[in-house]
Amino acid sequence: MRIALIPILLAVAAACVPALCGKEEQPVLQPAAPVETRSRFAALDDVRLLANGLLQLGQSLREFVQKTRGQINDILQKLNIFDHSFYQLSVLASEIKEEEEELKKTTVVLKANNEEIKGLSVKISSKVDSILQEKSRLRNKVDGLEEKLSSMSQGLMTSEQGAEISGLREVILSQERSITELLTAVREQSDQLNHQKVKITILEEKLTFDTLTQETIERMSDIFSNEAPTLTPYLTSSSTGTTSMTNLPSDCSDLFNRGERASGVYGIRPTGTEPFMAFCDMSKDHGATVIQRRTDGSVNFDQIWEKYENGFGDFQRDFWLGLRNIHSLATRGNSVLHIQLEDWKHNRRFIEYRFNLNGPESNYTIHLTHLSGDLPDPMSNHTGMMFSTKDRDNDNHQESNCARNYTGGWWFNACGDTNLNGRYFHMRPKGRSDRRRGIQWKPGQKASHSLKFTQISVHPVASPNTPSFTSPSSETRVFL
Ligand SMILES: *[C@@H]1O[C@H](CO)[C@@H](O)[C@H](O)[C@H]1NC(C)=O
Ligand SMILES: *[C@@H]1O[C@H](CO)[C@@H](O)[C@H](O)[C@H]1NC(C)=O
Ligand SMILES: *[C@@H]1O[C@H](CO)[C@@H](O)[C@H](O)[C@H]1NC(C)=O
Ligand SMILES: [Ca+2]
């Protein structure tokens, strides 16, 4: 069919050229025909091209989307990390804020301290004045008495009168001695106070720069360390005169039985010893003489033998009564040692021992027998131990000086778990060796934190002749 059609078409075409189609139309028709076909082909090419382009575009779009998705994931991840570090940062920021608060508090305490010290200085100088007056008054009294004595000795005098007068004279002389001692002590203390005042000012300046509270507190106690104030020696009150010398209670328990109910600092005189000042804890239906207390770390307990023998610190806060005085309290016998401890979670516990303490000739060897309490008992293992300080090693450890390793004076064994005279830490120390220097009762089971509060006191064993210590106060009053 096609083969047949072609000649006909050709023939028509041939015929058309001269006759049918006309000469004028040819120049129009002839160029038009090839343009029409060419544009149709071009459109097809364009479509193909367009399609190709679209395809490529689609491809790159997909790639782009994939790449973008990857980037978005990346960004999300980074955002997560940022979130996390932002959280950590905010935690840190709040910690820093807390420390700052702590610092502010410390500054306030320091300022109060400074004020207190200023007040004390004034008090001390007025006390010195009154003591000097008292001294001259006594001198006059002695002179008068001596005159009287000489005039009396000329006359007749009974042996009783003589004894009385010489007794009186002794009392006055001893009082004069104690006044002189006191004056020296007061002068020393006043010097120390001035010294401390300067140091507090320096510390205050430093505080504004320092950021770590514990560091500051440690530095503070280090500064106070070498000069822990000596405890106030005994002073007879000028108003009561000589009678108070002979009439002093033998200890806080005696004072309680005489009716005194307020805890505080009193003069006591255990039988056969020198009088001294002591803090009486009257809060438990009996009087207990406090021999050690830790409340705020204001006193450094890393002291030498002499300090531990004579006592140091501040009766209102942290102090050690002194081995000599503790020994005096123990000589009566039948003593109970009461130990009260508190940790930083406000758990308060106690333990009691039958207690005796030898004198200086045996380096204050301690004797303990466990009685009662809700604390574990590591101290029975220290019975029979001598007292040790960093400058006098009487412990059982062959190679070590326990007091030097763990700081503070104590009845160290070898070295043992217990040391209530260790360092006072406000925060848990980071290093193990530092922690071991803290105030310890029985570490080992738990990671130990230095204790928050300790108090060691002595009182006599309750006997049938004296009011029972465990009876309620109303009953005690009936007994009195
Ligand atoms: C007491 O301590 C000193 C010094 O540590 C020592 O030389 C002396 O032997 C001790 N006394 C007794 C009885 O052990
Ligand atoms: C005490 O300290 C010394 C020196 O740092 C050390 O050699 C010794 O092992 C320590 N002793 C105890 C019981 O920790
Ligand atoms: C007693 O102390 C010593 C030395 O510190 C120690 O080796 C011993 O295990 C302790 N004993 C008891 C029963 O705690
Ligand atoms: Ca040793």
Helix ranges, 342-441 (H):
402-406, 432-436
Mean pLDDT in residue range 19-34: 44
Cα 420 to ligand 3 centre (Å)? 17
Position 157 scores a pLDDT of 60
User: 105 falls in which pLDDT band (50, 70, 90)?
Assistant: confident
Judged against a pLDDT cut of 80, whether residue 413 lies above it is answered with yes
Judged against a pLDDT cut of 90, whether residue 148 lies above it is answered with no
Ligand 1 pocket at CB < 6 A: 362-363, 392, 394
- Rounded CA gap, 350 and 375, in Å? 6
Judged against a pLDDT cut of 50, whether residue 206 lies above it is answered with yes
Residue with structure tokens 């029979």? 384
User: 370 falls in which pLDDT band (50, 70, 90)?
Assistant: very high
User: Using the 8-state DSSP alphabet, how is residue 359 labeled?
Assistant: -
Reported pTM: 0.56
357: enclosing H helix or E strand = strand 348-357
Position 463 scores a pLDDT of 62
Judged against a pLDDT cut of 60, whether residue 18 lies above it is answered with no
Mean pLDDT in residue range 366-380: 94
* Contact between 273 and 281 (Cβ < 8 Å): no
| Ligand 2: nearest atom to the Cα of 402 | 13
User: 313 falls in which pLDDT band (50, 70, 90)?
Assistant: very high
Judged against a pLDDT cut of 70, whether residue 227 lies above it is answered with no
Ligand 3 pocket residue status of 478, Cβ below 6 Å: no
Cα 214 to ligand 3 centre (Å)? 33
- Rounded CA gap, 308 and 302, in Å? 10
Mean pLDDT in residue range 64-88: 71
Both tokens of 260, joined, read 């005194």
Position 258 scores a pLDDT of 95
User: 153 falls in which pLDDT band (50, 70, 90)?
Assistant: low
Span of 150-154, 193-197, 299-303, 344-348 with lowest mean pLDDT? 150-154
| 3-state DSSP helix/strand/coil % of the chain, to nearest 5 | 55, 15, 35
Of the bound ligands, which one is closest to the alpha carbon of residue 405?
A: 2
User: 21 falls in which pLDDT band (50, 70, 90)?
Assistant: very low
Name the percent of the chain lying above pLDDT 70.
70
> Quick count: other Cβ atoms within 10 Å of Cβ 467?
20
Name the percent of the chain lying above pLDDT 90.
37
- Rounded CA gap, 417 and 442, in Å? 5
| Ligand 3: nearest atom to the Cα of 417 | 5
Position 479 scores a pLDDT of 28
Ligand 3, atom 12: closest residue by C-alpha: 381
| Ligand 1: nearest atom to the Cα of 363 | 1
Both tokens of 165, joined, read 């007068």
Span of 13-27, 33-47, 61-75 with lowest mean pLDDT? 13-27
According to DSSP, the residues that pair with 389 across neighbouring strands are: 392
Position 365 scores a pLDDT of 98
Ligand 3, atom 1: closest residue by C-alpha: 381
- Rounded CA gap, 185 and 173, in Å? 18
More confident residue, 412 or 43: 412
By most ligand atoms within 8 Å of CB, the mutation choice from 370, 410, 412, 413 for ligand 3 is 413
According to DSSP, the residues that pair with 58 across neighbouring strands are: none
**Ligand 4 (ion): which residues have CB within 5 A?**
393, 395, 397
* Contact between 316 and 478 (Cβ < 8 Å): no
Both tokens of 228, joined, read 């822990």
* 335-342 and 453-460 strand pairing: antiparallel
CA angle 265, 280, 457 (to 5 degrees): 130
User: Using the 8-state DSSP alphabet, how is residue 351 labeled?
Assistant: E
Q: Residue 16: is the preceding peptide bond cis (ω within 30°)? A: no
- Rounded CA gap, 369 and 377, in Å? 10
Cα 290 to ligand 1 centre (Å)? 27
Position 457 scores a pLDDT of 98
HEC string of 31-62 equals HHHHHHHHHHHHHHHHHHHHHHHHHHHHHHHH
Mean pLDDT in residue range 247-268: 95
HEC string of 363-420 equals CCCEEEEEEEECCCCCHHHHCCCCCEECCECCCCCCCCCHHHHHCCCECCCCCCCCEC
More confident residue, 33 or 332: 332
Position 398 scores a pLDDT of 95
Mean pLDDT in residue range 285-307: 96
Q: What is the pLDDT of residues 419-428, one digit of tens each?
A: 999 999 988 8
More confident residue, 242 or 391: 391
Ligand 3 pocket residue status of 379, Cβ below 6 Å: no
Judged against a pLDDT cut of 70, whether residue 219 lies above it is answered with no
Sign of the Cα pseudo-torsion (21, 22, 24, 30, in order): positive
Judged against a pLDDT cut of 80, whether residue 263 lies above it is answered with yes
- Rounded CA gap, 423 and 439, in Å? 6
* Contact between 452 and 343 (Cβ < 8 Å): yes
Q: What is the pLDDT of residues 443-474, one digit of tens each?
A: 555 546 789 999 999 999 986 554 444 434 33
